[in-house]
A and B are shown apart, each in its own frame.
Chain A
Amino acid sequence: MKKKLLIGALSVVPLSMLIYWFNLDNKLLYYGVRPILNKVYNSYQRNVSL
């Protein structure tokens, strides 16, 4: 168990480097999260008034 945790912890660094280098964070946010958010925003009925 401890060994597994250690491997897991150590692999965070190269994993994060991969995410960083291939810009996976922004790709996920732009192509994945952003469309979902836009759908949610567009579905709202806001109290639009002067």
Chain B
Amino acid sequence: MKDLKHLIYFEDLLQEANNELVKQAAADGKKALGYTCYFVPEVLLNLGGCFSVRLRAPGTSNTDIGTYYMTNKTCPFTRSILERSMEGGYNFLSAMFSSETCQMMHRAHEYFDIMGLVKEQNPDFFLSMMDVPFVTTKAAYEHYENQLRKHILEPLEKVYGVDISDKAIRAAIGEHNEICDIISELGELRKLPNPPITSYEFHVLQLVSECCPQYLIKDKLLETLKEVRKRKVDPKPNYRARIVVTGSEVDDPAFTKLLEDCGVYVVADRYCYGSLPGREQIEIREGESALTAVARHYLSTSECPRFMNKEKQVQRRSYLKQLVNDYDADGVLYLQMKFCEYWSYERVMGVHDMNEVEGIPCIGVEKEYTMASAGQLRTRFQAFVESIEIKKLQGGKM
């Protein structure tokens, strides 16, 4: 297929957190609000005068400082974030929003406070950390909404005078939904047997929509969507197996490239930093406030293994199964970041359930944040693809 016009531009933007568009938005006087976790609603960080930046640590080759502070037995993603923040890589931020959802991630964020990071560049910088429920009862939704108000909206209003009214949140939801529309339509194209977008390209676009000021990237994303709609595909699809990828944090498109090199087409990105969930429309129901809608949306759509109630456990399995069906997938790949407690158990249970209960080919792998163990991963992925091909040849039903 012909290369996408803006792909190289998008790839460049992903090379650093403080990229060209982030700098431009800051120069426009907008506040850069950092976050990593889905429980911090992206939409609220895009209220008027602000823009969200989902933090990554691209190109982190060593984590000496992060390892000193957090030891080498903690999540490499969080150590990389810590490394980058200690190096000053996030000094452009006006605030950092976090939640005590994952022990290692929130610890890494706490260093903003412990070390007084960013404060020298911006004395108004603050870290705000909220509590998130483990279940989805009525009281839990109310609690989450209260936490959003107390730990995101009120600090924004107090420190930066951000308009946090219902009207402002509705406007932010409107803009958020526009981005979601673009990414979702691109994502839907992956359902086709010969998709006009590669899984790598989609990953780049999804990341760019999270890491760049959305008001500045929207036009190019829209342009790309139009380009993809009209794109002439290759005569035959260039993959051997269609796979749903689920798991913990995947913010490096090189990983998706590795999968593609092994013959995988990632039909659905059901991992942290992916679009499923993340790029669904936020719907405001009749009679509810915009904030209530946001709270309901993020809590109900979250696929985080942290949710303990049975309904959510069932939801995670059935959602995966639904993705396999909707995207005509041949199998599921569970990815677990090394040292991730949540996804290590989820991977164990999920791989078992997919294979033994649902009869869907599934493997689970552990990965580093960087592509350090690419060789080993390649072997695993190639073997998985071959097993799927053999199963197809033997007439096994998917």
Contacts and interface: CB of A to CB of B under 8 A. Distances in A.
Touching in the complex, A and B, CB below 8 A? yes
B57 to A, nearest CB: 34
Contacts of A50: 348-349, 352-353, 356
Interface in B349-370: 349, 352-353, 356
Looking at chain A, what size class is its interface with the partner chain?
under 10
Contacts of B356: 50
A21 B346 CA distance: 52
A50 B348 CA distance: 9
A interface, over-half SS = loop
Interface in A1-50: 50
Place the interface of chain B in its size category: under 10
Contacts of B353: 50
B358 to A, nearest CB: 13
B344 to A, nearest CB: 14
Nearest to B349: A50
Main secondary structure of the interface of B (DSSP, over half): helix
Contacts of B348: 50
A50 B349 CA distance: 7
A49 to B, nearest CB: 9
A47 to B, nearest CB: 15
A50 B352 CA distance: 7
B356 to A, nearest CB: 8
Nearest to A50: B352
A50 B356 CA distance: 10
B313 to A, nearest CB: 13
B362 to A, nearest CB: 13
A44 to B, nearest CB: 22
Contacts of B349: 50
B324 to A, nearest CB: 20
A50 B353 CA distance: 9
A50 B354 CA distance: 12
A24 to B, nearest CB: 44
A34 B287 CA distance: 67
A43 to B, nearest CB: 27
Interface in B324-364: 348-349, 352-353, 356
Nearest to B351: A50
A50 to B, nearest CB: 4
Nearest to B357: A50
A48 B329 CA distance: 31
A50 B347 CA distance: 12
A9 to B, nearest CB: 57
B252 to A, nearest CB: 31
B357 to A, nearest CB: 10
Contacts of B352: 50
B217 to A, nearest CB: 43
A50 B351 CA distance: 11
B316 to A, nearest CB: 15
B351 to A, nearest CB: 9
A9 B349 CA distance: 59
Nearest to B352: A50
Nearest to B353: A50
A25 B356 CA distance: 48
A50 B350 CA distance: 10
A38 to B, nearest CB: 27
A50 B357 CA distance: 11
A31 B349 CA distance: 39
Interface of A: 50
5 contacts: A50-B348, A50-B349, A50-B352, A50-B353, A50-B356
Closest 5 CB pairs of A and B: A50-B352, A50-B349, A50-B348, A50-B356, A50-B353
